[in-house]
Amino acid sequence: MRDMLTKTSLLALFGLSASLAATTTAFALDEVTYGTNWLAQAEHGGFYQAVADGTYEKHGLKVTVVQGGPQAANRALLIAGKVDFYMGSPLGEMDAVKEGIPLIDVAAIFQKDPQVLLAHPDQGIEKFADLAKLNSIFMGKDGYVTYYEWMKKNFSGFTDEKYKPYTFNPAPFITDPKSAQQGYLTSEPYEIEKQAGWAPKVFLLADNGYNPYSTMITTTTAMVESKPDVVQRFVDASAKGWYKYLYGDNKAANDLIKKDNPEMTDGQIEYSIKKMKEYGIVVSGEATDKGIGCMTDAKYKAFFDSMVQIAVQPADLDYKKAYTTKFVCKGVGMALKN
């Protein structure tokens, strides 16, 4: 009887311990937020995937994706400590160093910036340099002071007179065959083909020499210093989410995207995923054999040098404060790629 009671007591104790462990695990999740730079879309898919399929939870995280948009200020929220991570950019973080704002890139989800220039298909524009033959190039002011300056420095024929403001309405480009227009690889070509009935010629700046990282995981230096384990787990889980989104079942993630952004369509999502894979936006370069999110000193320096060349950044900027490679290039999640 005593042995039976002892066994019963032990089983009860083990059961209680298991229950407490499960409860503790449930409450031990670190809550973090990731702010995107635009409305929910396939270009944010890996983050939504890691939420939808429990990847973040398996890494001890409860993650909320805070979508950006015209009225959002997620970068400012990061600076103010209201979100933990943000979808930044190398140029943005270099500017932060210049301004004394302690922001830092810890991963680069996009190896290639999806920025493109578009041309009409019947104007003899076959290579990037041919765009200089056109009369007008519609682009936003940010592009005008960055990659257009780079274009003027590295190719002949691009002049200030060709610049025309882009108002995010493709009609002026569609009606003018002697023009080009800026765009995002995964969106504007799709929309133009829907409206005009023809597919524009697409020239990815990243494949023609202007090649910053994009779709960063950016945080504060305080976060890196005080919670490096949280940073590492978020980077690792996000990389796995991106592999699953691109190469696995992404329906649940897409449902979350459409819930956040009801105007998003299945057709647009399908097109965006196809183009990200076709052009190696996420998996190319160092990410091919070192994993999604990989960054290298060499590539970051190459982009910094190109910004010095066009006087966007000062040559004496301590640009290495803008990023760290300690959390990436470890091959995390690569086995998930089919």
In the numeric block, the tokens 């978020």 are attached to 234
pLDDT exceeds cutoff 80 at 13: no
Asked if 188 and 85 sit in the same domain, the reply is no
7 is a domain residue: no
16 is a domain residue: no
Asked if 203 and 270 sit in the same domain, the reply is no
Q: pLDDT for 97-153, tens place per residue? A: 999 999 999 999 999 999 999 999 999 999 999 999 999 999 999 999 999 999 999
Asked if 169 and 310 sit in the same domain, the reply is no
Asked if 201 and 288 sit in the same domain, the reply is no
* Rounded average pLDDT over 75-81: 94
Conformational region of residue 280, where left means phi above 0, alpha means psi within -120 to 50, and beta covers everything else = left
Gap between the Cα atoms of 242 and 237, Å rounded: 9
22 is a domain residue: no
Here the CATH number for the domain that contains residue 104 is: 3.40.190.10
Please state whether the predicted TM-score (pTM) of the whole model is above 0.95: no
For the beta carbon of residue 213, count every other beta carbon within 10 angstroms. 27
Dihedral over alpha carbons 204, 210, 215, 221 (to 10 degrees) = 180
277 is a domain residue: yes
Number of domains in the chain: 2
Asked if 147 and 37 sit in the same domain, the reply is no
Asked if 67 and 182 sit in the same domain, the reply is no
> Which of 157, 191, 208 finishes a domain?
208
73 is a domain residue: yes
47 is a domain residue: yes
Label residue 22 by pLDDT band (50, 70, 90): very low
Gap between the Cα atoms of 117 and 228, Å rounded: 39
Closest alpha carbon to 57 in 309, 294, 234: 234
Gap between the Cα atoms of 43 and 135, Å rounded: 32
Asked if 223 and 161 sit in the same domain, the reply is no
Gap between the Cα atoms of 144 and 123, Å rounded: 23
Asked if 175 and 257 sit in the same domain, the reply is no
Query: Domain residues for 184?
Result: 115-208
Asked if 86 and 101 sit in the same domain, the reply is yes
The CA-to-CA distance between both ends of the chain, in Å, stands at 57
Q: What is the DSSP code string of 270-299?
A: HHHHHHHHHTTSSSSTTHHHH-TB---HHH
Asked if 104 and 228 sit in the same domain, the reply is yes
Conformational region of residue 168, where left means phi above 0, alpha means psi within -120 to 50, and beta covers everything else = left
Q: pLDDT for 158-204, tens place per residue? A: 999 999 999 989 999 999 999 999 999 999 999 999 999 999 999 99
319 is a domain residue: yes
Gap between the Cα atoms of 265 and 268, Å rounded: 5
Q: pLDDT for 278-314, tens place per residue? A: 999 999 999 999 999 999 999 999 999 999 999 999 9
Asked if 94 and 120 sit in the same domain, the reply is no
> Which of 158, 186, 208 finishes a domain?
208
> Which of 208, 243, 274 finishes a domain?
208
Asked if 141 and 285 sit in the same domain, the reply is no
